[in-house]
Structure 1
Amino acid sequence: MIVLLLGSGGREHALAASIARSPLLTKLIAAPGNPGIAQHAELRPVAADDVAGVVALAKAEKVDLVVVGPEAPLVAGVVDALAEAGIKAFGPSAAAARLEGSKAFTKELCERRGIPTAAFRRCRTAEEGHAAVEAFGAPVVVKADGLAAGKGVVVATTLQEAHAAVDHVFGGDLGAAGAEAVIEEFMDGEEASLFALCDGTTALLFGDAQDHKRAFDGDEGPNTGGMGAYSPAPVLSHALIERAMAEIVRPTVAAMKEDGTPFVGFLYAGLMVGPDGPRLVEYNVRFGDPEAQVVLPRLKDDLLELMVAAVDGRLAGRKPAFRPETALAVVLAAKGYPGAYRKGSEIRGIEAAEKRPHVTVFHAGTAIENGRLVAAGGRVLAVTATGADASEAQMNAYSAVDLIDWPEGFCRRDIGWRAAAASEEG
């Protein structure tokens, strides 16, 4: 098979590495890709969200399957455009991608179907937003309805902070993403991520993980796209996973099918695990980043074959197999991230890091300039290691991190602290 992979981040590098192992693959093309992905694929200079450009590229390369990594092209309808051109694609239609593209859409679906989630109000004006904040009180969660590149959610601990967040959403800086807002009850508990592989009818469990959103050690500092992750997530017992699949994921997939918008692809359920069990925080309609970098290295089965089965509606009766060991990823980011940061600083030592046993370095924001590997984004690398438990995986990951020579970068030094402590106690 000739496969076209869309995207340029660490998630897409992890997808490329997994797809490249498939005996079904004859050629892998990535658009636009990155230097890490180039180890597995031929790169093409087409943006992932250039829908017309993607269709033209897929036609020119006689592609058998397009795998869509990030959310923006899904919400923009790239799968629909490819289908019209007679090209198979792994990922949801634009209508199904509303599960991530509109938080209000998802909350209202949950309300109709009795899916456990936080109480909410959909707000179409700033005035409605401010009234909802007063009604909920603090702490409260303020979310822009649409895709806001990780800048549309504020967990406000005070009413002043919440009102400022409402003004920010409706202030115009978020563009179309801020046309509406969702104000939510604050949920207390421990967050975890659950992944499902879906074919429109069947939803199969496809791993679980926990990530670290705050920029600095001790869960301090601003929220980020994720500074590290580990899989599996100790907080998600077998019983809790079964509850989440039965009460949250499968009812959602059934609802989407009944509404005429069947969901195909990876469905990522962000969960809050509290005393009453799991509740949905939000959905993403693609794999997480950096969660993909810890779930996919544990996959024993052929990822490409599973994706083809999903697109063809043949997942019933399947059960993807994962290795029992723990995988842990440490993200190296440019100093200043998630605020302003400098691009172009040279990165050395990746080869030495990857010589460590059980280590893979996934590229997220890198580029080649004048023969040098340089930083080209905020989150730049994800150093992933496996181990018998979280403590061993953590040790293996940081031993590799310490071999990377990049003075302009930083990382947290406590990724997986909770899971590592639990494994040491066990």
Structure 2
Amino acid sequence: MAPNYLKTGEAKASHGTVPTVDVEGIVKGVIADIRSDGDSAVRRYSEKFDKWSPENFKLSKQQIQDTIATVDKQIITDIHKVQANVRKFAQAQRDSLKDFEIEMEPGVVLGHRNNPIEKVGAYIPGGRYPLLASAHMTILTAKVAGCPHVIACTPPINGIIPNATVAAMHYAGADEIYILGGVQAVAAMAVGTETVPKVGFLAGPGNPFVAEAKKQLFGDIGIDLLAGATEILIVADESADPYVVATDLLSQAEHGPDTPAILITNSEDVAKKSMAFVEELLPNLPTNALAGTSWKDYGEVAVVGDMDEAYALADEYASEHVQILTREPREALEKMTNYGAIFLGEGTCVSYGDKCIGTNHVLPTRKNAIHTGGLWVGKYLRTVTYQEVTSQKASAELGRLCGRAARAEFFEGHARSGDLRAHKYENDSYDWIDPLQVAAAESSPKM
């Protein structure tokens, strides 16, 4: 049966209406200026957008230590604990990725290695909130992957250095920390300036301008993914606690005014009670202005006939965060495939993933979970292959095969590379090889 929507968002278009500013054009201009003018353009845009123009954007070691000294000791303790969780999970991911070598046949060896990217950029957003957790997710994960040099940027907040964020960046392992935000930070890391080294890969979430900058710079550098507004989708059955449902929907809706918060349930009773609790909770939520706008414009509640229909509909949404509030939450692992991260059971809320449990919170949005996963150790690695043929007989046989395969595609030059090995190692005859080439081949050292 078709789902019965008890609530749909008032903003009909996915993730908002047509932008009122030319994001693409603004970003294109900033990137072009930084390519041309380097540090002077970076400073110009930092002054314009953040009203921030220190003597140096990069923090010295002493500045970092002085900044950390101002942070509450409990916050430092919590940073260490959360980072221990992130490190443990990331290390398990890294350990699962094995280099290997296989002898395809006698004398033919193939293998692959997982090489870390040498220089990585991490963007830690900080427009509305100081997002300490993004430092753990981007910087620390890169370090666990083995990346030798990580450059990290975070914006000032209202003209002030975000001290706790700097602490998180430092303890995560950042090799260089810059108090620099927005497109100017992303572009500086991507193209390189007089003082900001060029990176090979850039990770981290951000506002629409940052996302657009990453999109335009992709190709010059690698990127983790293009992320939009945070999303939450809850799948609930009749056993779910509506108060928990409402609380967890609002926990993500406070991220911004355009956060989809979706409930899919087989119980009309759970649906109606959850909606009522949302309205009851909103007035006393300090972030109600953001959460309320998201709920009004992007909140949806769908009632379906059974749980199979619930899981199928949830897969169509391909949400960033999917929370399962059912009697048998692990059933979702078999029934669903399209999600950025899944949270099983009432004891596991999405906020744990955002802040402290250890999995990465940089995840695909806007249905991108259909084709990609989130940030993880593997994103910082380049899986590269190598080949070695040590048997003359095997090389000659491959040469003959290569010649036939290449000529089927009209690649004569490729074919001749194979021909030459077959001639050199097993005296195959080819009209295209002239006498001087034959003599040279015969006099060359054999393998």
Q: TM-score, normalised by structure 2?
A: 0.33
The structure with the largest helix share of the pair is: 2
Larger Rg, first or second structure (1 or 2): 2
